[in-house]
Structure 1
Amino acid sequence: MGLTLQTLVNKRELGLSVRTGAEHLDREVRWALVSEHPDPAVFLEGGEFVLTTGSRLPSSASERRRYVSRLGGAGAVALGFGLSSQAPEVPGELVEAAELASLPLLSVPEETAFADISRYVSNCIADEQQRALTFAVSAQRDLARAALSPNVAREVVNRLAKALRCWVLLLDHEGELRAGTAAGRIHLSRVRIDLARLRDGGTGRSLSMTVGGDSVVLMSLVVGGRVRGFLAVGRSLAFTSSDQAIIVTAVSLLCADLQGMGGTLDTARRHRLAVIKIAIAGELALAESTSAVLETGWPEGDLRVALLGVPARHEVELLECAENDQALLSLGALVAVWDKGRVVVLMPHAEGDIRTLESLLRQVPYARGAVSEPTPGRELPDAWRRVHSVFNAAPDASRKLVVAGDVATMGLMRHLMSPEARGWAETLLQPLTDNSGKSKIDLRHTLWTFLAHNGQVDASASALGIHRHTLRYRMSKVAEALGCDMDDPATRAELWFALQLDDQP
């Protein structure tokens, strides 16, 4: 704590005497205000030691009580009465009023100028601010050195706890503990209750609250516009502005660490995708040797390849659920982004592997997928073609996993795989392909979603994450580009087959 009334009383050169309120001398003084105004409360911001000679004090006891009450209500920490030849003693009514309002009342001897008190308070506050600044800079430098540690997050937590003499909890985006002090762990369950309030807000959010009698600051760690974790800091004393600056520094370092981890994660994802692409291209030996060099791991034995898909707004959720699925991790599966809203999984055949994928799809809204039968690695190209075809031809039913056992599961599509048919499909859809290069709107994907939902506007708009009026506008652009009537069932059927054919690898 900074300058207190007790500090002023202990300063012998000032000669201050306590007339009432000795039990409140621990109050912090933020400024000394000299005022002879009959109602100085209007000028107060809180924390002021008000000094007066009493020359304009009200004469009646009731008015003096009101004067003192107004000071206390406005946040004054004490009243100083300057003694003089005209007022050698503090008026009794003023003492009684101060006692009633629980406002400390100090007498100032005639030889002590108010300017001396103001100067002393100002110097003390300046010294305190300088100490706080020096402390904050030193603590921030110490935290910055934590960035050189092998475990940045744990080191930041430990150094922050030491600097502020507080407990600290570092949580991931789901509220699981990443690092924390022993004193903080007892508050873990209570802190988790308030995480939802941060998730529901905007970026750069924080909360101040009380947990178990401690003042607690809870801040979100935002990287790339997404909440990636939380930092909770607490102690019995309130955090000062310099303390909060130190906490913000810790948050910045933790966010930078998460961003670095994200860069490592992106690299790992690219490596896994490269290995999968080599494998489904038929270069099995090269895929295995590449996986060894890139340290991605390689699933042994017969394999399944799966293609999972969701609307664009859920693609990150699908990828993260697949990457963190404990069953897939234990199998040594390779997971990577194949295309927008699509994730590919290469996994060894094992008991319960289909149930694992079905369980994964149930975790993500509107997710669906197709998976191959167990196949030797050398037959992966054919298995992938079947999976890709079945995924595109299957009904767009959420949380549905289709097993691509044979090309026959594609029904009529197996009769339409000629080069001539594919050329027809490419020509028919060419206006949409040309449009995608000129506009940010993917009209082809809009058409595919519209047809996959049987032309139902509300369902299609929901899957695309847009308003139904926006969907109608986009479909008018599709009809204009293709020169067709989208209300004609035959036209819809032709376009659906064209999309399936043109999507074949």
Structure 2
Amino acid sequence: MPLTAQTLLDRPDFKLQRVSGSPKAFRAPLSWALISELPDPRPYLDGGEIVLTTGSRISGATTSWKQYVGRLVDSGAAALGFGVSSYYPEVPEPLAGAAREADMALMAVPPETQFARVSRAVADGIYDERQKELNFAVAAQRDLTRASLSPYAARAIVDRLAKAVRAWVLLLDHQGSLRAGVSAGRMHLDRIRIDLPRLRDANAASSLSITVAGETVGLLPLVVRGSVRGFLAVGRSTPLGSAEQSIVTTAVSLLAADLHNARSVLDVQRRNRLAVFQIAIEGDIAMATATAQTLDVDFPEGDLRVAVLGVPTGHEAELIDHAERDHGLRCLSALVAEREKGRVVVLMPPAEGDIRTLESLVRRIPRARGAVSDPTPAAQLPEAWREVRSVFSSAPGTAGHLAHGSDVATAGLLRHLNTDQARTWARTLLAPLTEKDRNSKIDLRHTLRTFLAHNGQSDASATSLGVHRHTLRYRMGKVAEALERDLDDPSTRAELWIALQLSDQL
């Protein structure tokens, strides 16, 4: 319990007498004790102090006492100890009246009780309280650390934190979905989610404080590798003390570390899935199956569909996260892998609702699109993969669109051109662009592909790339310069388009 005026009043050796002030005023925590005879001690007050004075430099006028009490209230002083002496043998009634009006804790200090003893008692009490808070915080932090080592670390940390700070606690993922939390706070989920966008930017505020149903709620982001990967909400009717805030900070660090560890495991799992996928589309199904068993990767059996899903820059993490957690794909035991930034590949067995599952996934992610093959024997996956990539690249379509197997089957021209000589021609034609991209942050190859996919329409191409049309014009100038070609020539555009499609199959 914090040191208060009531604590001092209860000490029999001090023989203090209550003069005015409500029980609430006497329960206000004391931050320090100031002995001062100044009529205006405000320059020496920070708030929360008990001021000890004999009033020797204050006139007995009623207005003087009102002004004095007013100054104490303005500075945030918590209590006043008035030393009874020969100068004032009792507490002046104007002072008592002013204190009553301001609801300030006022006590009479008898002549035999030295101010120094009271001041020392305040200092000792504050030290003891801070030591208790420190011990409490250390014990709670040790408890949280033990919780972080449990099999269900996140849930254990949340439960221990809620008990330690006597608050409800919610742990949310980066999209605002509940991962763990005590039941008392779950009714506030919808309100809390409204403010999460303010914390999603890693450069945003380190925390937010909002009021929900009369309770103070702290919102803190969980940052992993520079990205916000989750949120912690802590709410109760009274503000947290400094020791409690340090406990919450420890919990945030442990939860972020747990996410980091989970992320590291996830990175390994993603690499394993991609390795199995790569072996499968190269045609060695036996090796893919054996590798999947070794790496503990689910590999669907029988005929398969192969799909490629894509998003523009800025939505890459959203695409892979949604695909990995998609309930429908999990039910199908689909293999999901990120082949490159913004490109997710899927191997899945044909089943009722499989196409709807992919279409739903594509529609949920901003500006996503995709292509999926017809069911094909596993041994023919390389051919199905080339075809589905071809249709994905040659028919960008609109956001939310999934090209089906019948669309893939119409990509006949590129199949006839799928020869070593044609691929060598494509590689040679695009070589200057490939070299430029190696030494530049700008993806000129992607810029050219988007420009050609939109029939050379600048506005549509710029919108698709998320840049201004003047920026697009500048980039296309760089493309033309690198290739030494006239991009207004229809024949040149056709050649470049075919070269880009063939290069995807290299």
TM bin, normalised by shorter chain, reads: over 0.9
Matched residues in 1 for 2:116 and 2:460: separation? 76
Deviation at residue 435 of structure 1 after TM alignment: 1.7
1:261-272 equivalences under 5 Å are 261-272=262-273
Note the C-alpha offset of 1:185: 4.1
Relative distance call for 1:40 and 1:262 in structure 2 (3 A) is same
Structure 2 spans left out of the alignment, 5+ residues: none
Distance 1:231-1:336 versus aligned 2 partners, 3 A rule:
same
SS in 2 for 1:112: coil
Check whether the contact 1:156–1:254 (CA below 8 A) recurs between aligned residues.
yes
CA distance in 1: counterparts of 2:388 and 2:187, whole angstroms: 50
Greater displacement, 71-80 / 178-187? 178-187
Check 1:121–1:437 CA distance in 2 against 1; reply closer, same or farther (3 A cut).
same
Tell me the distance in 2 between the aligned counterparts of 1:418 and 1:233.
62
Aligned twin of 1:308: 309
Aligned residue number for residue 389 of structure 2: 388
Hey, what's the Cα distance between the residues in 1 that align with 2:45 and 2:447?
A: 62
Question: Aligned partners of 1:194 and 1:437: how far apart in 2?
Answer: 40
Q: Where in structure 2 are the equivalents of 1:430-441 lying within 5 Å? A: 430-441=431-442
Structure 2 partner of 1:66:
67
CA, structure 1 residues 466+16, in 2 after alignment: closer, same or farther (shift >3 Å)? Answer: farther
Q: Distance in 1 between matches of 2:367 and 2:457?
A: 16
- Whole-angstrom distance in 2 between the partners of 1:64 and 1:295: 81
Letter in 1 for 2:366: P
Deviates more, 1:267-276 or 1:209-218: 209-218
Task: Please state if 1:373 is matched with 2:346.
Answer: no
Aligned to 1:76: 77
Residue aligned with 2:306, SS = strand
SS at 1:87 equivalent: coil
- In the alignment, the residues of structure 2 paired with residue 38 and residue 91 of structure 1 have an alpha-carbon distance, to the nearest angstrom, of 15
RMSD over aligned Cα atoms:
2.3
What letter is aligned with 2:99?
A: A
Q: Equivalents in 2 of 1:241, 1:468: separation in Å? A: 53
Q: What's the offset of the Cα at 1:205?
A: 3.0
How many angstroms apart in 2 are the aligned matches of 1:27 and 1:437? Answer: 66
User: 1:458–1:223: structure 2 CA closer, same or farther, 3 Å change rule?
Assistant: farther
Q: 5+ unaligned residues in a row in structure 1: which ranges? A: none
**1:350-395 CA-partner distances (Å, limit 9, x unpaired):** 1222222111111112211111111111111111111111112113
Evaluate the alpha carbon distance shift between residue 468 and residue 134 of structure 1 in structure 2; reply closer, same or farther with a 3 A threshold. farther
Deviation (angstroms), 1:26 = 0.8
1:335 Cα deviation after fit: 0.5
Counting only pairs closer than 5 Å after superposition, residues 111-260 of structure 1 correspond to structure 2 as 111-199=112-200, 202=203, 205-260=206-261
Distance 1:237 1:488 in 2: 71
Question: 1:127 Cα deviation (Å)?
Answer: 1.5
Counterparts of 1:303-452 in structure 2 under 5 Å?
303-405=304-406, 409-410=410-411, 412-452=413-453
8 Å CA contact 1:4–1:27 kept in 2: the answer is yes
Q: Which residue matches 1:14? A: 14
Q: 3-state DSSP class of the match of 1:12?
A: coil
Under a length normalisation based on structure 1, what TM-score does the superposition of the two structures give? 0.93
Note if contact 2:42-2:75 (Cα within 8 Å) is conserved in structure 1.
yes
Please report the TM-score for the alignment, with normalisation by the length of structure 2: 0.93
Residues 1:134 and 1:458: Cα distance change in structure 2 (over 3 Å):
farther
| Alpha-carbon spacing, 1:204–1:274, altered in 2? closer, same or farther (3 Å) | farther
Percent of residue pairs bearing the same amino acid type: 60
**Secondary structure of the residue that 1:221 maps to in structure 2?**
strand
Separation of aligned partners in 2, 1:418 and 1:54: 103
- Say which SS state the counterpart of residue 263 (structure 1) adopts: helix
Larger mean Cα displacement after TM superposition, 310-319 or 229-238: 229-238
- d(CA) in 2 for partners of 1:20, 1:170: 46
- The CA distance in 2 between the partners of 1:194 and 1:182, in whole Å, is 20
On the 8 A contact 1:396/1:453 being kept in 2, the answer is: no
Report the AA paired with residue 7 of structure 1: T
Cα gap change, 1:132 to 1:280, in 2 (>3 Å) = same
Quote the residue 2:473 is aligned against: 472
Which moved further from structure 2: 382-391 or 6-15?
6-15
Counterparts in 2 of 1:380 and 1:414: CA distance versus 1, 3 Å: closer
CA distance in 1, matches of 2:30, 2:306: 70
Is contact 2:281–2:381 with CA below 8 Å preserved after alignment?
yes
Letter of the 2:97 counterpart = E
Alpha-carbon distance between aligned partners in 2 of 1:277 and 1:371, rounded to the nearest angstrom? 17
Shift of 1:221: 1.7
Q: Which whole-Å deviations, capped at 9, do the CAs of 1:175-199 have from their partners, x for residues lacking one?
A: 3332223444455455445444444
What do the CA deviations read for 1:250-276 (whole angstroms, capped 9, x no partner)?
111111111111111111111211111
What SS does the corresponding residue of 2:400 show, helix, strand or coil?
Answer: coil
Secondary structure of 1:55's partner? coil
Relative to structure 2, which stretch is displaced further, 329-338 or 139-148? 139-148
SS at match of 2:315: helix
